[in-house]
Amino acid sequence: MPKIKVTNLTKVFGKHPSGVLPLLAQGESRESIFKKTKHVVGLNRISFSVREGELLVVMGLSGSGKSTLLRCINRLIEPTGGSICIDGEDITKLPPKELRLKRQQKFGMVFQHFALFPHYNVLRNAAYGLELMNVPKAEREKKGLEALERVGLDAWAKAMPNKLSGGMKQRVGLARALALDPEILLMDEAFSALDPLTRREMQSELLRLQHEMHKTILFISHDMDEALNLGDRIILLRDGDIVQEGTPEDILANPADDYVADFVRHADRSRVLTTRSIMVPASAVAVLGVDGPHTALRKIRHHGLSSLFVMDAFHTLLGLVREDELESMRLRGKRDLAEIMETDLTTVGLDVSLNDTIPIIASLPYPLPVVDDRNKLQGVILRGTVLEALGGNGCSDETGECTATGEQQ
Amino acid sequence: MSDFFSSFRIPIGEGIDSALELVVSTVEPVTLAFSSVVEKWIDQVENFLLWLPVPVTVLFFAFCAWLVARKLGFAIFSAIGFLLIASMNLWPAAMNTLSLVVVSTLLAVLIGVPIGILAGISRSVERIITPVLDVMQTMPSFVYLIPIFPLFGLGKVAAVFATLVFALPPAIRMTCLGIRQVPPELVECAEAFGATRWQRLFKLELPLAAPTILAGINQTVMLALSMVVISAMIGAQGLGGEVWKAINRLQVDMAFEAGIGIVIIAIFLDRLLQKLGLRASSRWQS
């Protein structure tokens, strides 16, 4: 069962919102509904679900409905139609008192502009949710301090919020949400108000915390880099509709339409793309004990390479042989490639980010071999492939071409 | 046209007259009972202030000034000011006025702040209350002095009531404003963390509105002080009574002395409350 399951969630702003629902069902557009009824469709029958422990980023420009969507999840904004099930329980049907308790138990929320209480010190802010639940003072201060420790601000417990920098304020905001140990974190453009450097730092911080805590997180963002960096999955919203839903790599590789493509074009791909997604099959390899220098040289020349990877019969990468040394070996009339094979190769795993791969490739005289955890050759990364992937052409269907234009192997 | 109006007249005055008669005859016992209670309060405050030896009271005021403002200058000013009042032989009158202002203000806070909170929370309450406040603030006070007699009798309570009509609106308006000024994102945050309405009010809205509410109370005090002369006309004594007597006898010196006494009390209370307002927020306002 998904942690959060949203079905046909609809929000219409105006005087008689429910009257617009039939029009939406007939497939009328946002514009024509606005013209006819002066009602604004904020969310148009949106369905998606979030798994336990998943970090889902909802992404879109301002006015796309992403903040409305987030606020519908804990009913800060009352949905017009549809259902929102948390652990299988439809919270759109809860009476006010139970909704309040549900908010205390299940949800922690982090706000774009921090929303720290100026009249409380950092610790009391962090323990705010517990204070509302009437947890005894000693206990809530202990938990508040623990939460502050998590975000590295325990030394500031007694400071007032106006003494903190933006990044620190948002750490307190995060601590306030975490102090309750909620199952679900709702983060509304939580890092958008921070400067780029602090934003990066907070993103890493969130990923680190998520690695420890495995919360279910719904993160709203308008920043594609942030979405690609944080999200296990991304939902793209436009005008209250879901345009695309998928993993960061899906979205980078196959943008659903121009809107998404436009987003993706300016994104920093190097952090998202992994070796797995940009590697290409090695165009030719030599098998130890089977191929001799003659065959190896023929393969090299046929594919226009300068060196050849050597594997055993089970695809385990053993080493590399060079054209000039093969040539001299052939002249000497020897057969065993093991004699001239270089064995101290640099390799990478399958899920290394492109960002980390680039510096390795830059200094390597041969294509970078990608191996799995049993050292079996899965593919190679060429400089040309990397450039193309960064350029945003997507590489998966141009594999053959990539290989053909491959550098001196 | 003028013929038309001389023959046709909407009898507003008569209406109010008969309405008042009805009100007076029905609520008189209640208001008179209220009157005697409030009178007792005022007397107690006044008696206490007069029971203390003058130097002790002066020192007490100076100490209050220092305690709240932490400024020696203000404390010295308070001491000299009250000593000046005593030296003009206006001490009992000043304490009478002070007790009247204190009780009026207390009542204004007791009535005004809750109404202000309601108006801050509910737009419809605000819509109903705003015109009433407008009338209270603009209606010349002499107009409602007359019907106050039968309701509260002649004397201090009538004066307190007249003062309330005039001085209550800022307390209500500023409380309402203070509540409405709470940033919506903080309200949203309180909601998101599951605050009850009472928690939201007492842990968020009132603390954040406190400086504004205190500014409103400051206004109330100032308006109450500006009413003392008019109050004197319906039997309140004190400094206002001294001024009123002096006016009747055309004694400029006496009028000025009492007037200076009022000014000294006004400055003392104003600075005191202003500092109190600042202290309420200095911890968190940059």
A158 touches chain B (CB under 8 A): no
Q: Which residue shows structure tokens 């009352």?
A: A78
pTM reported for the whole predicted model: 0.76
ipTM of the complex: 0.79
Asked whether residue B7 is domain-assigned, the answer is no
B164 touches chain A (CB under 8 A): no
Asked whether residue B12 is domain-assigned, the answer is no
Shortest Cα distance, chain B CAs vs residue A59, angstroms: 21
Judged by DSSP in three states, A383 sits in helix
Higher pLDDT, A159 or B283: A159
- pLDDT for res B203: 93
Q: How many CB pairs under 8 A join A and B?
A: 60
Report residue B1's pLDDT band, with 50, 70 and 90 as the boundaries. low
A139 CB contacts (<8 Å, ≥6 apart)? A130
Asked whether residue B253 is domain-assigned, the answer is yes
Mean pLDDT of the residues in chain B: 89
User: A-chain residues within 8 Å CB-CB of B205?
Assistant: none
For B241-262, what is the mean pLDDT?
Answer: 91
* Dihedral (CA of B93, B99, B100, B105) sign: positive
Asked if residues A399 and A280 have their Cβ atoms less than 8 Å apart, the reply is: yes
The region of weakest confidence among A184-193, B228-237, B258-267 is: B228-237
Of B183, B186, B194, the CB nearest to A100: B194
Asked whether residue B92 is domain-assigned, the answer is yes
Strands A368-371 and A377-381: antiparallel
Q: Chain B residue with minimal CA distance to A102?
A: B194
Nearest to B82 by CA among B91, B74, B92: B91
- pLDDT for res A129: 92
Please provide residue A53's backbone torsions phi and psi, each rounded to the nearest 5 degrees: 80, 5
B165 touches chain A (CB under 8 A): no
Is the model's pLDDT at A21 over the cut of 60? yes
Q: Chain B residue with minimal CA distance to A106?
A: B193
Judged by DSSP in three states, B78 sits in helix
CB spacing of A111 vs B189 below 8 angstroms: yes
A113 touches chain B (CB under 8 A): yes
A274 touches chain B (CB under 8 A): no
- pLDDT for res A392: 61
The region of weakest confidence among A310-314, A319-323, B28-32 is: B28-32
In CATH, what is the architecture of A50-271? 3-Layer(aba) Sandwich (3.40)
Total domains present in chain B: 1
Q: What is the pLDDT of residues B140-165, one digit of tens each?
A: 888 888 778 778 878 888 888 888 88
The region of weakest confidence among A105-109, A111-115, B137-141 is: B137-141
Percent of chain B with pLDDT over 70: 98
Q: What is the pLDDT of residues A218-246, one digit of tens each?
A: 999 988 888 888 899 999 998 888 989 99
User: B-chain residues within 8 Å CB-CB of A102?
Assistant: 194
- Identical fold, A50-271 and A275-404: no
Please state the domain extents for chain A.
50-271, 275-404
Q: What is the pLDDT of residues B18-27, one digit of tens each?
A: 888 888 888 8
Asked whether residue B24 is domain-assigned, the answer is no
A162 touches chain B (CB under 8 A): yes
Report residue A186's pLDDT band, with 50, 70 and 90 as the boundaries. very high
Nearest to A129 by CA among B194, B198, B183: B194
CATH code (residue B225) = 1.10.3720.10
Asked whether residue B255 is domain-assigned, the answer is yes
Q: What is the pLDDT of residues B112-132, one digit of tens each?
A: 999 999 999 999 999 999 999
CB spacing of B186 vs A117 below 8 angstroms: yes
Which of B181, B191, B193, B197 best tests the A interface by mutation, with the highest count of A CBs <10 A? Answer: B193
For A14-30, what is the mean pLDDT?
Answer: 85
User: B-chain residues within 8 Å CB-CB of A176?
Assistant: 193
- pLDDT for res A397: 40
CB spacing of A104 vs B208 below 8 angstroms: no
Q: What is the pLDDT of residues A367-408, one digit of tens each?
A: 889 888 888 888 888 877 777 777 665 444 433 333 333 333
Percent of chain A with pLDDT over 70: 95
Judged by DSSP in three states, B118 sits in helix
Q: What are the angstrom distances between the C-alpha of B18 and each of A381, A406, B28, B161?
A: 99, 105, 15, 21
Of B190, B199, B284, the CB nearest to A119: B284
Mean pLDDT of the residues in chain A: 85
Asked whether residue B153 is domain-assigned, the answer is yes
Q: What is the pLDDT of residues B189-229, one digit of tens each?
A: 999 999 999 999 999 999 999 999 999 999 999 999 988 88
For A317-345, what is the mean pLDDT?
Answer: 86
Q: What is the pLDDT of residues A43-63, one digit of tens each?
A: 989 999 999 999 999 988 878
Which of A100, A113, A131 best tests the B interface by mutation, with the highest count of B CBs <10 A? Answer: A100
Q: Which domain holds residue B70?
A: 29-282
For A305-313, what is the mean pLDDT?
Answer: 87
* Dihedral (CA of B186, B192, B194, B197) sign: positive
Q: Which fold has domain A275-404?
A: CBS-domain (3.10.580)
Q: What is the pLDDT of residues A78-95, one digit of tens each?
A: 999 899 999 989 999 999
DSSP letter at A353 equals: B
Shortest Cα distance, chain B CAs vs residue A82, angstroms: 21
